[in-house]
Structure 1
């Protein structure tokens, strides 16, 4: 057992949560100048609206190979881009796709197959006159812009880009789009701002009969044999993981430098992140187990299993990737000189809204329930 006897509040509402926006597109332009990548421009706009709004662009932060500047998916056993994008979408509050290619059409199809993701998607489509074709046509139009059967419709927002031609070969050119002067148009800003309001997060983890588990919107727990099964929807998992960064004991542990003689920035980064993942995973398991026991003192079990509703992604993969996401949205970083994790001041401020999700008993009651000395 960990020294800290705190545990999760299983029923609580977060009024101003961290909000993550997943920005997708077919071509990521790393060059600067007056034609910044559209996702970079959109990211700057969204993050200027609210300090709790954070945008994630996968290409900015992650690769499938070793890099001095970016994290490697393989290090956390994430080898499928499909799984990575699905998990990112599930963890995000909005999924925003600049649709202009076959790749982004495939993303729309992948994400829309999950009703939870489908309901939080926004397709950003260029005006058909700008690029001399309409990307919202055929199957996409009938499936996601259907006036007769609107249940699976996705919000589509048109924008008016500048264009330039990119030469693929002597006989082939491709049109790329950009925001003129690296600024969103007023109409697009207005449409986006109206779409980004996200409601509070309500945590409610209930005890269930194991035969009454059909509703995947509800997070629940039940005992089967000698095993405590905890099944969480992904939003609740993200919220509880975020709340751990409001606990002083957890932050102290995260900030401890790694031990041992590790050289090279890439190896240091990897080891610091592995330690952070291990710390967060251990505290999460302890806190959820104590929380359930505090509500059910007579409950008996020998082991605990935590799983996620509506996905094959494991709890361990989710925790690992959550730490990657925090790194990708600049809420945590790695000090390679001192070989330790750093937590951004802004994350400290954001996590203040999560303080009441952690119950810290002062009378030792929970310790008695758990038979902790």
Structure 2
């Protein structure tokens, strides 16, 4: 598909979308081969269920410092772990937390303060007898597992892990949990079966008027003082960005190699910067054509694109989208050729989003182009 004068449909349903599962937990264990980290075991299980299911573990992919393989948050001006975790959870379809410590309790509190995120949350809590304590107690129990006032309850699934002691000092040991034989038990699989099911995605962008309020399921646009203002939900933004990977001209630009850089870390940084910049420019053009194609009488001199989330800008969201695509292995970097790699799997997944793109054809008539 050529970019030309293509644009987005204002209303479309994606029947088999990409589904991202954000896996959170405490200590990330990468060194003990006998006891693989629980998140890695869960990731392998979830991704085996559907080729469009992808899991993201932040510790596997990102850092706050320079690294030859992992991406540096600082490179896209994201220096607050709070904002990073919020944005990751907003871009995810499910947020699954292995709750066992103070850090994961803080994550539960952070995420539950946002209704959009709390509706996606699943807490995996070890059985009280396995862990020798009940991690769902006190404030967490009263706030999120309340039998009398259930309106703010979260989904909590108990599981039965193996445990071992980790020696901190001669006088202190900490208990860690793991999946026996590095596999999920049948009981946990059964409990997760309905939780992991996710429906199709509905994309809808409608004109804002002064009487309606923002709906978290619908994106809006308006024109005031010769400015076009577009506010997109994170879900819609992600879907539209994925659909752009069906545009051959865009993919050609994204794959163009960079020059005059030899250092591996600089190659990675420059390749990703180029991808982010190209995607932002293309997206803005598509949005402008989308609104103009459906409202040809509109006149404006400036376009403002924002996301329906406080403290997160359009620029941050697009930048972090590229990081997420890298983190779930849908894009990569070819260091020898100094260019971005768009995987075959991303091509296959983005094909599900083809109906979101409209391209003008003979006589100016627009039709939805489908990939056979």
Q: TM-score range by the shorter chain?
A: over 0.9
The equivalences for 1:98-117 within 5 A come to: 98-117=98-117
Alpha-carbon distance between aligned partners in 2 of 1:54 and 1:364, rounded to the nearest angstrom: 41
Match of 1:371 in 2: none
Note if 1:272 corresponds to 2:271: yes
Match of 1:313 in 2: 312
Alpha-carbon distance between aligned partners in 2 of 1:168 and 1:131, rounded to the nearest angstrom: 17
1:238-279 deviation line (CA, Å, top 9, x unaligned): 111111111112111111112x31011110000000000011
Alpha-carbon distance between aligned partners in 2 of 1:102 and 1:245, rounded to the nearest angstrom: 40
Alpha-carbon distance between aligned partners in 2 of 1:5 and 1:247, rounded to the nearest angstrom: 11
- Give the aligned length: 365
Q: Helix, strand or coil: the match of 1:30?
A: coil
Alpha-carbon distance between aligned partners in 2 of 1:310 and 1:213, rounded to the nearest angstrom: 14
Match of 1:370 in 2: none
Match of 1:151 in 2: 151
Alpha-carbon distance between aligned partners in 2 of 1:282 and 1:210, rounded to the nearest angstrom: 29
Match of 1:253 in 2: 253
Do the aligned partners of residues 71 and 31 (structure 1) sit closer, same or farther apart at CA in structure 2, a change above 3 Å counting? Answer: same
Note if 1:301 corresponds to 2:300: yes
Match of 2:370 in 1: none
Q: Which runs of 5+ in 2 are unaligned?
A: 367-372
Match of 2:262 in 1: 263
Match of 1:323 in 2: 322
1:39-70 deviation line (CA, Å, top 9, x unaligned): 00000000000000000000000000001111
Alpha-carbon distance between aligned partners in 2 of 1:106 and 1:140, rounded to the nearest angstrom: 10
The equivalences for 1:1-373 within 5 A come to: 4-210=4-210, 212-258=212-258, 260-363=259-362, 365=364
Question: Conserved in 2, the CA contact under 8 Å of 1:26 and 1:99?
Answer: yes
1:53-110 deviation line (CA, Å, top 9, x unaligned): 0000000000000011110000000010000000000000000000000000000000
1:94-141 deviation line (CA, Å, top 9, x unaligned): 000000000000000000000000001000000110111000011111
1:267-326 deviation line (CA, Å, top 9, x unaligned): 000000000001111111110110000000010000110111132200000000000000
Alpha-carbon distance between aligned partners in 1 of 2:122 and 2:216, rounded to the nearest angstrom: 23
Do the aligned partners of residues 229 and 366 (structure 1) sit closer, same or farther apart at CA in structure 2, a change above 3 Å counting? Answer: farther
Give the CA deviation at 1:365: 3.3
Question: Conserved in 1, the CA contact under 8 Å of 2:204 and 2:219?
Answer: yes
- TM-score by length of structure 2 reads 0.96
Alpha-carbon distance between aligned partners in 1 of 2:48 and 2:35, rounded to the nearest angstrom: 20
Q: Which runs of 5+ in 1 are unaligned?
A: 368-373
Question: Conserved in 2, the CA contact under 8 Å of 1:243 and 1:351?
Answer: yes
Question: Conserved in 2, the CA contact under 8 Å of 1:125 and 1:159?
Answer: yes
Give the CA deviation at 1:32: 4.2
Give the CA deviation at 1:350: 0.8
Question: Conserved in 2, the CA contact under 8 Å of 1:210 and 1:222?
Answer: no
- TM-score by length of structure 1 reads 0.95
Alpha-carbon distance between aligned partners in 1 of 2:71 and 2:147, rounded to the nearest angstrom: 43
**Structural RMSD (CA):** 1.4
Question: Conserved in 1, the CA contact under 8 Å of 2:3 and 2:247?
Answer: no
Match of 2:369 in 1: none
Alpha-carbon distance between aligned partners in 2 of 1:180 and 1:58, rounded to the nearest angstrom: 24
Do the aligned partners of residues 50 and 219 (structure 1) sit closer, same or farther apart at CA in structure 2, a change above 3 Å counting? Answer: same
Question: Conserved in 2, the CA contact under 8 Å of 1:164 and 1:177?
Answer: yes
Do the aligned partners of residues 67 and 210 (structure 1) sit closer, same or farther apart at CA in structure 2, a change above 3 Å counting? Answer: farther
